[in-house]
Amino acid sequence: FIQGGVKPHGEYCVFLITAGKRITHADMYALIALPPGVDKAEWLASNTVAFFKHINLFSSALSEFCTPSTCPTACGPGNAVYVWTDDHGRKLKCSAPLYFDYAMSYIQDLLTDEDVFPTKAGAKFPTGFVFMVQKVFLLLFRTMAHIYWSHYTQAQQVGLHPHLNTLFMHLTLFCRHHELLDPEDTEPLQDLITALGRQG
């Protein structure tokens, strides 16, 4: 596969070949659609929490392979470099483990903020809630993209690649169905998304 005239990363070729390896071939569309009678904000909130927990757990399982020396920059497919923007608007180029630590801490803070993700009955979701959910899913997608780009071989070696493929397929279908990511965000992994869709 040649995209944009650039020879693909070795990890990229491997995960395209093994796209059929999943832990389930259940109907993913049944898992992502808004159930009848459920408030959309509630559905987005509960799924945001679930995806965060799963992806955080998955990245933790591979953390020994993702270090400042092995991953001095947070990168993804197409040699994209992810730069963290701090609370003051400063862009920080940092190692992958530091970038994803920032990302997971940011998401955790949002999820535990009652003003953003209310847990009390009758509490209203804030204006701009969907925008915040979109930002969370962008960070989660980048976490998965980095794993595929830099650590897929290690995921294979420890037998986690079927779990990774299943989780990624669920994530991308959910994001597409609920319009949480822009096409330019997912385009670098479109070959994989297409391959997983064919296997479904």
pLDDT tens digits along 49-77:
999 999 999 999 999 999 999 999 999 98
178 annotated as ligand-binding: no
Superfamily per CATH, domain 10-199: MOB kinase activator (1.20.140.30)
Over the Cα atoms of the chain, what is R_g?
17
**Residue 161 marked in a binding site:** no
132 confidence band (pLDDT: 50, 70, 90)? very high
Q: Where are the domains of the chain?
A: 10-199
Strand boundaries in the chain, DSSP class E: 75-76, 80-81, 84-85, 91-92
- pLDDT for residue 97 is more than 50: yes
Backbone angles phi, psi at 92, to 5 degrees: -115, 115
The pTM assigned to this predicted structure is 0.86
Question: What is the phi-psi region of residue 5: left when phi exceeds 0, alpha when psi lies from -120 to 50, beta otherwise?
Answer: left
Is 175 annotated as a binding-site member? no
Q: 35 pLDDT exceeds 80?
A: yes
75 is in an annotated binding site: no
Q: Do 148 and 11 meet the contact criterion of CB atoms below 8 Å apart?
A: yes
